[in-house]
Structures are given as structure tokens and as C-alpha cells.
Structure 1
């Protein structure tokens, strides 16, 4: 390491690496500090290692997927949308494809492909990478960046990009340093919650259904004030709760509510949206053509048998009987629980298993046109460390790349 650089980037995730590359391409002398032994430790784990980079949504729809804070990314996406990311990756030797017409992956479906290409580009453009180097402090003078103090000594600089990520998966290096730097420079950090994490339930019957995936399950919060919180996707039962893509998305909404209410009642429609009337109609047609079918045989085209058995037990319905032989009240209760299966979320697996963090550095104190702090000259924030998080499907990586690209331009 030298004594002085134009820019110091803290963190080597997607946001940190692209910001360093962009700055170096623009002639800046850049130091990238990574506290781990290798670059992109969390990027390597993204999407189970398959690395869903982005998706093909329009900028408008993409921003809407992030909720009320989504409009903050207007300038970042305008400058670097999903097609720009695809083009950038192609320039550094990574071929991508869109197998389902929506999600963009490297053709290798291997995150190591992305990391190796970014690492090589860092070398090509002359970025100095300091491995196993922890930034302990950022020093300011007259509301301007002055220098950074690292585990390997002090470095003078007038620009710092904080791309440290959130609190998820601490074993991959997440430690909250970015929030510490932000607070020390006068920035507000919103409440932080684990997101994209499996959820635990009060109900124990879910353990009997672990082998089954429910496609296109519709999950909603069963609290009057929050009934608009709902998601659709594949659901998987676990020994102590639920997981799967829909749960990972849904957990973003649930973890803050758990802190507020202690437990969160939810409803799950596992019948691809069928209501009670439609289910009755389906059962009537099915039994008409198969009069000898019992309840299990009648409904097993809609749900796995393990789930049917457990729901029948909950309403005291003998699944070996024919549907018409059930008592009226039991029959009605069975239809209700099939259409809206209640569960009670009592906990989550914490930041240890959280892919992203909900909350972060307040967007009100960051200029969306530059990613520079409104409080400190030369201090920039990008990626997950700020108060923006999206659903599964390449949203968060696209945001990291787009915000890192913008920050790396060091615009005033």
C-alpha cells in the first residue's frame, strides 16, 4: 500500500468492485480494501452460487419492486440498467443468458465466473487490492474525507466509497462496519432486520410435510393493518417452519413485524388462488367422475398427500372417507383450511442465515444522482449498506452494480 490514493473503496462485493473499476477507468488511483483473503465472499454465495445477476424488468417496474424507497434508484438505473450490466460483463469476458426470459445468469451458472472476471478487470485497470485489510476508521476534516485508518496503516485520500454490505451471513465477513462509519459521520441508520431468511412457526405439523414443495403458494399477513402484505411463489415446509423463494421474499415484510408484535399470523393459499366456491366446484366435478374416491384421492391432484393428511387432522376430518360422507361443519372447515391455511410465525433464523439486510443508511442523507453523502464531501455509499432491499430474482445484485457504478464516477 502507498501513503495516498485518489479513492479508497471499502468492501469487495459487487458494488465495491464495480465502483473501483469505474473510478480507475476514469483515471483515478484506487485502493480496494477487503478484510477477507479473497474478493467477493458474499457474491460467491449469491443464489446458491448460481449468481442470478439481474432481471429484464423495465426500470419503472424494477423500482416499484423495492417499495416506497424504490424511486431513489432512478438515476443509478438510468445510467446502468440490466442491459448495461449485461454489456459490461460481456466486455470483461462473461457471457450471460436468460433461460426463463426474466432472470439473467452467467452461462456457467457459477458465481466464481463473475468474481474471476471482476478480479482480472481490477488488475487490468490498475486497482490495488489490499487483502486481509480491515478499515478501522475514516477521518474527516471540515466535513471532508481526509484519510482512512486500516489494519495495515493510514492512507491519505479525499474520497471513500463504503460498499461494506449489510449484516447477513457474518461468516462471510459481514460485521456492520459500514453502519459504524455512517453514524460516525453523522448519518442516520434505520432499524436493521434480517431479510431473505427462513421463518419458524408455532405449529409443529409442518414437520410432517418436509418432503413437499408447494408451487405458486400465496402467502399473506393475517393482521388487519397489514393485509396488503402478500407474496406468491414456491413454498417448502421444514422441520420447524417454512422456507422457499416465497418465504425468502415474504420474510422482508415479516421480520420487522415480529419485532413489533412478537408473533405474526399468516394465511397460505396452496391451491394457486382457488377460493372456497372454486374448490367446492372442483371437488364436485372430481367426485362425479370418480365416485369411489376418498378425500385423499379427490384432492391429491391439488396438494401433496402429506399436507392433505395434516390439514384433515386439524379439522378432525377422516381423509379415508368420501367427501360427501363428512359432517357438514367438518366439510366446511376442511374447505376453509385448504383455501386459507393458517400458520403463526414466531421467529426467524437471524442474520446468520439472512441473505440481505432490511434497513440501512438513510437515503435522505445521500444524493441519488451521485451516491455521495449530503453531509460529508468525498464520502459515498452504495449497495446493500443503504436503506434499500428488494425481493429474490436479481434485484439486489442489480442495485449493487448500478449504485456502485454511479458512486465510482465520483460526481460532485
Structure 2
């Protein structure tokens, strides 16, 4: 038990982006740091981020950034003030990683490779003499006489402070088991209900499976339940064999999974036409028909939609797509215009945490000091990253939060 008699200034539990940054930040404050990771290597989930391209952050202002996290966003103000997107880019530049925002919004390493990020972080941990132990399965954490005692199958570790950076429940194949929530509860912390987020959704209707090759740009999704009528999001949508995916779906899943926990089904209304209303659609089709009176309904609709989607809209409305618009029954014509404006789809499920990129919910924020990330219940216990009740949409939001909160926790460690 090589660490049995050594007392570290801080032990960081979890080798993801939050834990790595917390370790670096604490080491820069001249603290002795031990980073514990249950997998054989650190940063497994970071390596997979953004399809391996690693969308680190984005270019929004701090206020705009926090607003994207909803009601919990203001909790991040101190962490972002201490370490915002510009600071993150400067940090990576200082360790040899240049970043770029080619679209003016999303920030990636110049080489668009997470491997570059991992190598640079590894080197920085080594330079700062942070001790890293991998393949450590923690069994218990206790606090005795102001010292935290961590036991694993093969070792005992001691520290004056610990930082829980264990992440959430998403992607269990990359090490997510929810240990941090268990440890937090054992220290008396409340953990909110936990839901998978940022993932594809299954729909009851399977008719759009034939449209997989076509991306719907700037589709608008809204929940067709009176209680949740304010939930609306715009973005690119892609159909699958079982439902829907794409950036707008990944983001909207954050809102839908808690609702699905209450209801078996969640009805959606989707605009494939950037919010055009029925009158605008009818006027458009009327002009198309005037230009080409012999055109079929399908040809009329392809002036608005991809061919495959137009065909499925006809199928939904039980319309012969080879027919002329003027020959369609009045009731079916009315249904067609209505369906073109807002197409109904019913979400019935998802894959759970198996392929969820993030977790919605976590350690209750009111029990954490936002100025330090320290527990208000237990001195010397800190939290950072996804383990707390903060989650954001796609686009570098969650990684920035992990880095910012990790930085704050590490630099404010009090001995």
C-alpha cells in the first residue's frame, strides 16, 4: 500500500476534463495532487467528444453562454469569471494546442483531433508532477480527523481535500457508473433525479425512415402538451429507422427525457418549413401551380421539401402524390396544408444512458458554494463538472463548464 502514509493536499476522483483541469489548477497552487481514475487511461470520454474532433467551447459571451443552461446557468458565473472561453483557449495555447472557430462559433483544436488535446494535458500533468493512478476502483470514502481516507481494492489513499469529478451516467462503456452520486449521498448531499440527455429519440411513427438521406435544416420542434408548450427548439434534424436525431434532437432530448419519465408518450409538432404558417404555404403552392398547371402534388411539394419527405407527407395525408393539386378532396387538401405547417410525431423512448452524451440532474446546487465549488455540508469536499446539477446543449457548453468548474475547484482548495 504505497500511499498509505502519505497525505496529499488534494485527491481528485475522476480523470475526465473536469478532473484533469482541477488537478492542473491545484498543482499550479503548489498543492500535492493525486488524480484517481477507474479506467486504464484518463480522459476516455473526452477522446470521444465531438466525434473525436473535440469541440472545446464556443464564442458566446458569458451571459449568452449561461442563458443556454436555463435556470441553473447563473450558478456558473464565478467559475466562468475565473476561467472563460478565452482563458481556456489561452491555456491550451500555453501548452502547445492552437484552437480555431472556423464557423465563428464552435471552437476546436486546429488539427480537429482530440488526440492532440489528450497529449498536451498528459504532458502538463507530468510537468506539474501530478501523480496519476489509473485502474483504481474506489470502494469507500470516509473523513476522520479532518483527513479523507479513500480505500480501493489494493490501496489506501489519504488527503486533506477531495474533488469529486466523476462525471454522470452517460456512456457506461467509457467508465460512467454514477459513483460520484453515491459518494455525495454518503456525505449527506441531495442528488436530483437523473435523466439521460443529448441522444437520439425513438418515435411511434416509422414512416419517415425512408427519409434518412435528407437532413432538414432549421427544423422547429415543439412539445404538443399544454403544460410544456413553451418548449421549442430550432436546428438540423435527421431521420432514423426508429425515430429522429441530429443537433436539434440531441439538444431537445435534455427537455424531453424528464417528461418521458412522467408520460409514456410525448407528442411533438415539427415544422420542416422554418415556421411557415398555413396561409404562407397555401400561397406558395398556389403560385407553383400557376407556374406549372400540369404538375403533380409531389412536384408541387418538392418546391418546399426534399422528395422523400414530400412523399411521406402525402402518405400521412392519404393523398396520391401523382394526382394534381386541384383534384384533391377538400378535406385532404386542408389536412395537407396543416401537416405541412406542423407535422405531428410522437416520441416514445430512447436508449437510456447507453448512448447519452450527458446526464441531466446531479448534486443539488444549493448545497455547493458557487464561489469555490466546495460543499456547504462537508469542509474539504469539492465538486466539478457533470456530477453537479448543470447540463447544457451541444456546442462546447458542457466541456467549457467542466474545465471552468474544475479550474475553480482546484485553485480554491483551502488547507
TM bracket, shorter-chain basis: over 0.9
Report the secondary structure of 1:248's partner residue: helix
1:195–1:248 contact (8 Å) kept in structure 2: yes
Residues 213 and 235 in structure 1, CA contact (< 8 A), matched pair in contact too: yes
Q: Which 5+ residue runs of structure 2 have no aligned equivalent?
A: none
Q: Which residue of 1 aligns with 2:33?
A: 30
- Deviating above 4 A after TM superposition, structure 1's stretches of 4 or more consecutive aligned residues are none
Contact 2:26-2:413 at 8 Å conserved across structures:
no
Match of 2:139 among 129, 136, 151: 136
1:269-294 deviation per Cα after TM superposition (whole angstroms, max 9, x unaligned):
00111111111111122222222221
- Structure 1 stretch displaced more, 340-349 or 321-330: 321-330
Q: Name which of 385, 388, 398 aligns with 2:387.
A: 385
Aligned equivalents of 1:131 and 1:86: distance in 2? 27
C-alpha contact (below 8 Å) 1:147/1:158 kept by paired residues:
no
Candidates 279, 289, 292, aligned match of 1:290: 292
Shift of 1:325: 2.1
2:115 and 2:221 mapped to 1: Cα distance?
Answer: 34
**Contact 2:218 2:235 survives alignment (8 Å):** yes
Indicate the residue corresponding to 2:370 in structure 1: 368
C-alpha contact (below 8 Å) 1:145/1:376 kept by paired residues: no
Partner of 1:88: 91
Listed as ranges, the matches of 1:239-388 within 5 Å are 239-388=241-390
- Correspondence for 1:152 among 151, 154, 166: 154
8 Å Cα contact 2:380-2:413 kept in structure 1: no
Indicate the RMSD between aligned Cα atoms, in angstroms: 1.1
C-alpha separation in 2, matches of 1:379 and 1:388: 18
Q: 2:54–2:113: 8 Å Cα contact kept in structure 1?
A: yes
For residues 115 and 382 of structure 1, what CA distance do their matches in structure 2 show? Answer: 19
Q: Could you tell me which of 67, 74, 77 is aligned with 1:64?
A: 67
CA distance in structure 1 between the partners assigned to 2:31 and 2:94 by the alignment: 20
| Conserved 8 A contact 1:372-1:380 | yes
**Secondary structure of 1:260's aligned partner:** coil
SS of equivalent residue, structure 2 residue 8: coil
The alpha-carbon distance between structure 1 residues 185 and 80, as it changes in their structure 2 partners (threshold 3 A), is: same
5+ long unaligned stretches in structure 1: none
2:412 maps to 410
Determine the structure 2 residue equivalent to 1:396: 398
- Once the 2 structures are TM-superposed, how far is the Cα of residue 197 of structure 1 from its aligned partner? 1.1
Normalised to the residue count of structure 2, the TM-score between the two structures is: 0.97
SS at structure 2 position matched to 1:408: helix
Q: Quick check: 1:215–1:233 contact (8 Å CA) kept in 2?
A: yes
Q: Is the Cα–Cα contact under 8 Å of residues 145 and 160 in structure 1 kept in the other structure?
A: no
User: Equivalent residue for 1:228?
Assistant: 230
Judging changes above 3 Å, is the alpha-carbon distance between structure 1 residues 192 and 245 closer, same or farther for their aligned structure 2 residues?
Answer: same
